[in-house]
Structure 1
Amino acid sequence: MDKRVGWALAALAVFVGWWQWGGYGVVLALTVVVFWLLLQFYRALRVMQAAGAAPVGHVANAVMLHARLNKGMTLLEILPHTRSLGQKLSDPPQESFAWTDANGDRVEVTLDNGRLTQWQLIRAAAAEGEAQAPAQPGA
C-alpha cells in the first residue's frame, strides 16, 4: 500500500472518531493507528533479523528467486524470499543488489526509489561459456 493512502486512512479514522464519539473516538483512533504502526515495525524487524542471520548475498536457489520477483516489490517484500541481505552493487536512487546460489547462478535486482524495476538471472554456465570463449584474432 502507498504511504499516502495509509496516512490518509489514519487521518480519516481520527476524524471519524472525533465526529462520532468526540475525545474518546480520537483516543480510540490514535490507539488503532499506533497499533498498526507497531505491527509494521515488528514485521520489518522480523524480516531484517532473519535476513541478517544468513550470509550476505547468498540465496538457496537463484532460479526460484527470479521466478518469485514481481515489478513494484519493495526490499522488505523481497527479503523473505531470499532469507539474506543482498550484496549491494550501487547506491540510491537506483539501488542494485545481487544474490548468488551454491551453483553460481546469480540474481541482480534494481530498485528505483525503493521499488523493484528490473531484475535478471545470470546463469553460471553461460558466464563460464563467455569467459572461456577464445578471443578473436586482431580484436
Structure 2
Amino acid sequence: MNLRRIAMALIGAALLFWGHWQFGWAGVAAVGGGLVLWLLLHFTRLMAVMRRAAQRPIGHVDSAVMLNSRLHAGMPLIGVIGLARALGELASPEGEQPEVYRWTDPGGASVQARFAHGKLQDWGLKRPEADAPAGPAPQAAP
C-alpha cells in the first residue's frame, strides 16, 4: 500500500474524529455521508470509463497521434483508458512490472505506453513504414 492511500485513510479518520468532537454523532453522520459521496463519485467515474471502453475493441484507438499528444508522465492508467476510450493491448508478460500497453489506430500508427504501479512512466508513437516514396519520382537527367 502506498503512502497516498494511507494518508487518505488517516485524513478520513481525522475528519470523522473532528465531526464527533464538534457535533457528536450527528457530525459523524454528516462527515461519513460526505466521505461516502466522495467514494461514490470516484466509483461512478470509473464505471463510466470502463463502460465506454467495453464498447470498443481492445487495443484500438481512433487516432494514435491525438492520444500521444494528450499523454503526460504520471497519468493514471484509468486516465489513459479514458482518453483512448478502449482498453490497451497488453504487450508485456502478465503480472510483471512495468506493464506495457499498446493502442493502434486504423492507419497502423500505434502508441506504446509503460506503466509502473498504475502510473504512466513513458510512451512512444510508432508510425507505419511507407511503401511508396513520398513526393514525385526523381527524373533522369538528359
Confirm whether residue 33 of structure 1 aligns to residue 35 of structure 2.
yes
Q: Report the Cα distance in structure 2 between the residues aligned to 1:8 and 1:125, rounded to whole angstroms.
A: 53
Report the counterpart of residue 74 of structure 1 in structure 2.
Answer: 76
1:7 positional shift: 2.4
Runs of 4+ in 1 over 4 A off after TM superposition: none
Per-residue CA distance 1:2-45 (angstroms, 9 max, x = gap): 43443233222212101110111111111111111111111101
Moved more, 11-20 or 110-119: 11-20
Larger deviation: 16-25 or 4-13? 4-13
Q: Residue 19 of structure 1 aligns with which residue?
A: 21
Tell me the distance in 2 between the aligned counterparts of 1:71 and 1:79: 14
- Find out whether 1:106 has 2:110 as its counterpart: yes
Q: Which structure has the larger Rg over C-alpha atoms?
A: 2
Shift of 1:50: 0.4
Task: Tell me the alpha carbon deviations over residues 79-113 of structure 1, each in whole angstroms, 9 at most, x when there is no partner.
Answer: 12101111111233211110000110010001001
Q: Which runs of 5+ in 2 are unaligned?
A: 133-142
Matches of residues 92-131 of structure 1 in structure 2 within 5 Å? 92-125=96-129
Q: Give the Cα separation in 2 of the matches to 1:83 and 1:58.
A: 9
Which runs of no fewer than 5 residues in structure 1 stay unpaired? 130-139
C-alpha RMSD of the superposition? 1.7
The separation in 2 between residues aligned to 1:31 and 1:44, in whole angstroms, is: 20
How far is the alpha carbon of 1:77 from its aligned partner? 0.7
Q: Which has the higher helix share?
A: 1
CA distance in 2, matches of 1:20, 1:75: 39
Query: In the alignment, residue 47 of structure 2 is paired with which amino acid?
Result: L
Match of 2:136 in 1: none
How many pairs align? Answer: 127
TM (normalized to structure 1)? 0.84
CA distance in 2, matches of 1:41, 1:74: 15
Identity within the alignment, %: 37
Partner of 1:64: 66
TM-score w.r.t. length of structure 2:
0.82
